[in-house]
Amino acid sequence: MEIIERWKTETGLDAICALVCGAHLCGYVKIPETHILHNVDYCEKSPAFFIEYQKILESPTGKRGVLECLTADKKIPRPCDLFDVHGSLTFSGKLPGIDGFWYGFDCAHYGDSTAWTSCGEKRTPGYVHEECESLAQQIISLKGG
């Protein structure tokens, strides 16, 4: 993992744009230790998010991954069901050599151009920066956060 950019988001949360495997960009936002999502895996089901998820069910799919939308348990949601970010959340945990617990997304989905594929849209560090800013805002806005 090669860090391209590290910054404080407008919400005050730490964020990182990284090149992974020399092939595609990923974005990460650090979850504060006092936040309800700290140390919660992005695929962990929790009834604590039910009210938030009910609001999301009434909104457009947005940038979420289609697979996550199709496999979501409408009674017990997961964090990856909650956030409207490029391709949905695809990571939670510690980053190599970096303190904290992070949520992340990748730009290696169908329709993304990577080092392995030349078709699709090339995602830039600026795009990842914007997605991290959006994710950070959604994390802060989550009830209990």
Nearest CA to 31 out of 46, 14, 18, 17 is that of 14
Among the listed residues 98, 121, 109, 115, the one whose alpha carbon sits nearest the alpha carbon of residue 17: 98
Q: Which residue has the higher pLDDT, 130 or 73?
A: 130
Q: What is the pLDDT of residue 79?
A: 84
Q: For residue range 80-131, list pLDDT tens digits in order.
A: 888 889 988 999 999 999 999 999 999 988 788 877 777 788 899 999 999 9
Backbone φ and ψ for 92, nearest 5 degrees, come out as -150, 145
Compute the distance between CA of residue 11 and CA of residue 140 in angstroms, rounded to an integer: 7
Per residue in 10-25, pLDDT (tens digit) is 999 999 999 998 889 9
pTM of structure: 0.82
